[in-house]
Amino acid sequence: MAYDNHHGPQVIQTSTGRADGLNKCPRCGATDIGFDVKSGQLMCQYCRFAWRERNAADLFDLNSPISQLRGRQIGSGSGDIVPGVNQMVTFKCSACGAEVSIDTAHAVQARCHWCRNKLSVNQQIQNGAVPDVILPFSLPKAEAVARISEFVSARKFFAHPRFTAEFAPDNVMGVYLPYLIIDFNTSVEFMGVGEHTTRSYSVQIDDDRSETRYDYDSFQVARNFDLYIDDLTIESAADKRDFHTDRNTNNIINSIMPFDTKNAVRYDPNYLSGFTSQRRDLDVSAMIEPARVQAQDIGRYRAAETLDFYDRGVRWDEQNIWVHGERWVSAYLPVWLYSYFERKSSGKELLHYIAVNGRTGETMGSVPINTTRLWVASGVAELCGLAATIMSAMVLW
């Protein structure tokens, strides 16, 4: 990947400017604010006033033409994580003066133990706990539970009996997972060899056998075009980028994408009310190569749309991508997550996930397999196939 020269990243200021502490209802000043999934609005638990944060793309001009991007732009909540930054934030309650501590590794809100006001971490500290934008949940928990139950029911026959006995879909958790949303202004180039069939014909090999042969022409093929990528979304938590299937089923979470990231709003900790979150622990610099690979994959896919003439396929021998401009924004995206820890008789351990997109309801997952039943079913199917073959041969004879 090659980059145009530029003088360091430009920072997109996404901070609310609010100090840590009390986030008050605009109408009555109460701090007990919750999030209503059905309406998608924040709601004061005292006066019932409802409102929502502004759309992030409009507020921060994230919809500007990608073709005009130059250099690297990074949201202020996407800065590098500084080692040693204390995850425990302590500040004074601005209502009563008591000192309150919040462990940002697990939460960004806490109640003052004296006056019971709800306190929030609003400042974008350099530990990845506060992103630029958030995409609120819109799928209620009851619907997520129903989708997970339906998913497991369809696979119950081959599921491990211990899993089916312990399956409790009500234990599903709403989690905001950390992602980086990227816009790319690139140019791509692919060069290689394509083959086109000119004719096919049959050749008799012996009295009982013939074969079809093909003549084809080879061509030098090149494709060079501008590629604008809008809202490429990649995980920014190290444990969720562990795709070793012998340890976990993290790849499941990718299968419920895409998210409607254009509807993300400016980050407000009150959207996390009733949910958990995982902080970002990977820097933009660590994600450049994975993003490049995905961008190049998109380029190959678009190039393939122009290759119908080469019916025998195209082999790319050289692939290049040049990045003229890019924009990185950190986000919390909503996932309903059901997890199950399996310890096999061999001692091997595997963490299974069933995930539901908190916006679209797309569902995918992994369940422990009853290997004995699977082998028996496979054997029966093979015997049935063999019996059918024998019967067919007898009829023909």
DSSP class of residue 122 equals -
Domain count, the chain: 2
Distance CA 253, CA 243 (A): 11
Is there a domain that residue 203 lies in? no
Same domain, 269 and 385: no
Same domain, 376 and 341: no
Is there a domain that residue 202 lies in? no
Same domain, 50 and 75: yes
Same domain, 287 and 157: yes
Collect contacts of 96-102 with beta carbons under 8 A, ≥24 apart. Answer: none
The pLDDT, as a whole number, for residue 247 is 67
The answer to whether 171 touches 336, Cβ cutoff 8 Å, is no
DSSP class of residue 263 equals G
The pLDDT, as a whole number, for residue 225 is 97
Structural domain that includes position 394: 369-397
The pLDDT tens digits for 290-341 are: 999 999 999 999 999 999 999 999 999 999 999 999 999 999 999 999 998 8
Same domain, 260 and 376: no
Same domain, 306 and 176: yes
Same domain, 396 and 342: no
The answer to whether 149 touches 196, Cβ cutoff 8 Å, is no
Is there a domain that residue 214 lies in? no
- Beta-bridged to residue 110, according to DSSP, are 119
Is there a domain that residue 197 lies in? no
Is there a domain that residue 253 lies in? yes
Same domain, 296 and 240: yes
Nearest to 108 by CA among 237, 267, 251, 249: 267
Is there a domain that residue 387 lies in? yes
User: In sequence order, what are the residues at sequence separation of 6 or more whose Cβ sits closer than 8 angstroms to the Cβ of residue 388?
Assistant: none
Same domain, 362 and 302: yes
Same domain, 257 and 356: yes
Distance CA 250, CA 348 (A): 17
Distance CA 284, CA 277 (A): 20
User: Can you give the pLDDT of all 397 residues of the chain as single tens digits?
Assistant: 444 445 568 999 998 877 777 788 999 999 899 999 999 999 999 999 999 999 999 999 999 999 999 999 999 999 988 776 667 778 788 788 888 888 777 778 888 888 888 878 877 777 788 999 999 999 999 999 999 999 999 988 777 788 888 889 999 999 999 999 999 999 999 999 999 999 999 988 887 888 899 999 999 999 999 999 999 999 998 888 776 666 666 778 888 999 999 999 999 999 998 899 999 989 999 999 999 999 999 999 999 999 999 999 999 999 999 999 999 999 999 999 999 888 776 777 888 899 999 999 999 998 887 655 545 555 555 656 656 665 665 554 5
Dihedral Cα 334, 338, 342, 348, nearest 10 deg? -10
Distance CA 350, CA 368 (A): 9
The answer to whether 313 touches 151, Cβ cutoff 8 Å, is no
The pLDDT tens digits for 77-131 are: 999 887 766 677 787 887 888 888 887 777 788 888 888 888 788 777 777 889 9
Is there a domain that residue 179 lies in? yes
Same domain, 314 and 274: yes
Q: Is the dihedral of CA 96, 100, 104, 110 positive or negative?
A: negative
Is there a domain that residue 196 lies in? no
Same domain, 375 and 234: no
The pLDDT, as a whole number, for residue 2 is 46
